[in-house]
Amino acid sequence: MGLTNMTKENFEVAVGDFYEMSGRLAEQYGLFWEKAVVQPTSGEDPAASVLSDFSAALQEVGSAMLDNPNKLIADQMDLMKQQQELYQNTVLRFLGQTPDPIIKPDPSDRRFKNEEWEENPVFDYIKQLYLIQGNFLMKMITDTDGLSDQTRQKVEYFVRQYINALAPTNFPTLNPAVIRKTLETGGSNLATGMDHLMEDMEGSVKGSLNIAMTDTSAFQVGRNIAVTPGKVVFQNDVMQLIQYTPSTDKVFKRPLLVIPPFINKYYILDLREDNSFLKWLVDQGHTVFCISWVNAGPELRDKGFDDFMLEGPIAAVDAIQKATGEKEVNAIGYCVGGTLLAATMAYLKKKRKAPIKSITFLNTLLDFSEPGEIGVFINETAISALERQMDLVGYYDGRQMAFSFSTLRENDLFWSFFVNNYLMGERPAAFDLLYWNTDSTNLPAAMHSFYLRNMYLYNKLIEPNGITLAGVPIDLSKISAPSYFISCAQDHIALWKGTYKGATVLGGQNRFVLGGSGHIAGIVNPPQKKKYGYWTNDALPGDADEWYQGASHNEGSWWVDWQEWILKQGGMEEVDARQPGSDALPAIEDAPGSYVQRRIAKVAK
């Protein structure tokens, strides 16, 4: 039933129920503000430093606008014209006419899917007025000349956050779905939503709101996610090494090491049986080993990037050699795991060692000159403040990163859950990918500081001898092992044109493939789903656009293309399947192991 069709009797009953809830709501809002105000901030907080940096960028934009006021005046006149036309159209709608809308939401914008936003003239007016004014604010930035790319990116991000925060869908008195729910429940949805908000605030790190995105009770690591059979066969301070149980009688001679990001848990590659990349690799005949990184606490504050290299990939290769008797391995690195893999390869090259014979990079940045939208958080002011905070506690709280990443896709990853959880008073459905997304990982202070400064801020990894690890200056151009790069066209975390630069830096025979979709879905793309497709080009010109112009589109999954590539790299003759837990490397515990079970709230206390 639409709001415009509600009967007088139903309305009066609903209003009566609503007033009965008002006392509880007032009490809950009092508790909320009490909770909020006891979280003081200061100029030392990273969030405050980021806002200070945004303020400077906004001042620069304001000065640039004054240098050319004619564009600003023209934009304002256009805004006034559209607003007047919208008002006239709304009057005509009340008179029974159906004029064409002045503006429509983007087809991908799911905020205005409720039919009332179009059928009810009042809500249609609110919707269009919001869209017109939001477009005006963004156009002001676009039309401003003389801005650096970094300043424009910061201001566009900040203004976008402001616009989307003020969407009428986020306010209980302006969202028709929330109004209807409030009238039907007598306001209990808002009271329940306040309970949800208080609960989420308890689990959030200071300076952010980590909204529940899924029903966490529906999942248990090792029970219904991360269930590919295997054993933990090695562990140290920073990682456990899982060897997976073979599913074929014969396996390839050369084992395979998978290095996931140390941001979040490894099981993004092992969510369910039907989309597990790790299980697929096992089923293809690979002897698969995967690193499961520690969820760091303050005791690991001094672990550096070189420690993660020595105790991560290098220790894993030594363990694999003991477990299998093989001297050569293939390796796959995902995101920052790939960055670590490249650094490891350069380090081993300087040490005149070559146990890793082929390398695969999944959405990996080596050249950080195009960091994507996360670049709005990368500056000396913000990093220095973050380092001061990490020095106090010994680690970077992964919930801070989760919140920052959610603001890069704020309507999908923040505001949609804000409306669902707090205004509608509901809890999100069970979704394994979002469970993984909220299962954050803390990062040791020393390692995270090194990574932010040397990669993102200074972009030293691509400089010959620009970085020294464990006393060894490294040079990526000296890496001679063949490499396979897979990036994703819609990735907003590791822009594909930025990852492409990495493929041109290494010295070996390198293949670049471009998948569809984004940072996660484009990688976790099993062949049986027949989704997205991928682009290939055997050439590797210096320019990404030139590569794309010569590329061919292929249906299906890049997994199949990678398997064909890896089979050509040598060491792929078949041997008897290897069971995890040899005499040389006994099993410690069943996969997925204990490190992955440690959730951040328990670590952070």
- Residue recorded with tokens 């650094």: 343
Q: Which residues contact 160 (CB under 8 A, 6 or more apart)?
A: 138, 410
Catalytic (active-site) positions: 335
pLDDT of the residue at 44: 56
In the structure encoding, which two tokens stand for residue 537, read together? 């080009």
In the structure encoding, which two tokens stand for residue 20, read together? 């009965």
Q: What confidence tens digit (pLDDT) does each residue in 534-551 have?
A: 999 999 999 999 999 999
Model confidence at 67, pLDDT cuts 50, 70, 90, reads confident
Closest CA to 302 of 206, 237, 348: 237
pLDDT of the residue at 46: 60
- Number of CB atoms found within 10 A of residue 38's CB: 7
pLDDT of the residue at 17: 44
- Residue recorded with tokens 């939503």: 193
Whether the Cβ atoms of residue 211 and residue 421 lie closer than 8 Å to each other: yes
What span, in angstroms and rounded, lies between the C-alpha atoms of 210 and 303? 27
Find the helix or strand (DSSP H, E) in which 296 lies. Answer: none
pLDDT of the residue at 219: 93
Sign, CA dihedral 444-311-369-559, equals negative
The string of DSSP codes covering 155-193 is HHHHHHHHHHHT-GGGSTTT-HHHHHHHHHHTTHHHHHH
Any idea which of 302-316, 363-377, 472-486 has the lowest mean pLDDT? 363-377
Q: Which residues contact 392 (CB under 8 A, 6 or more apart)?
A: none
Phi, psi of 257 (to 5 degrees): -105, 130
Model confidence at 459, pLDDT cuts 50, 70, 90, reads very high
Within its chain, how far is the Cα of 495 from the centroid? 12
Q: Does pLDDT of 604 surpass 90? A: no
Model confidence at 53, pLDDT cuts 50, 70, 90, reads low
Burial 519-551, CB ≥16 within 10 A → b, else e:
bbbbbbbbeeeebbbbbebeeeeeebeebbeeb
- Residue recorded with tokens 């897979």: 486
Closest CA to 137 of 219, 53, 78: 78
pLDDT of the residue at 1: 44
Residue type, 74: A
Query: How much is the mean pLDDT over the chain?
Result: 89
What span, in angstroms and rounded, lies between the C-alpha atoms of 311 and 361? 20
Any idea which of 59-63, 339-343, 414-418 has the lowest mean pLDDT? 59-63
pLDDT of the residue at 61: 84
Whole-prediction pTM: 0.88
**Angle at which helices 188-202 and 176-185 cross, to 10°:** 110
Any idea which of 186-195, 247-256, 396-405 has the lowest mean pLDDT? 396-405
Strands 256-259 and 395-396, how do they pair?
unpaired
Higher-confidence position of 53 and 480:
480
Q: What share of the chain is helix, strand, coil (3-state, %, to 5)?
A: 50, 10, 35
Strands 534-536 and 443-444, how do they pair?
unpaired
Closest CA to 99 of 89, 88, 112: 89
- Residue recorded with tokens 């014969």: 250
pLDDT of the residue at 75: 87
Whether the Cβ atoms of residue 425 and residue 28 lie closer than 8 Å to each other: no
Cα 390 to Cα 395, 439, 551, 600: the distances in Å are 5, 20, 44, 15
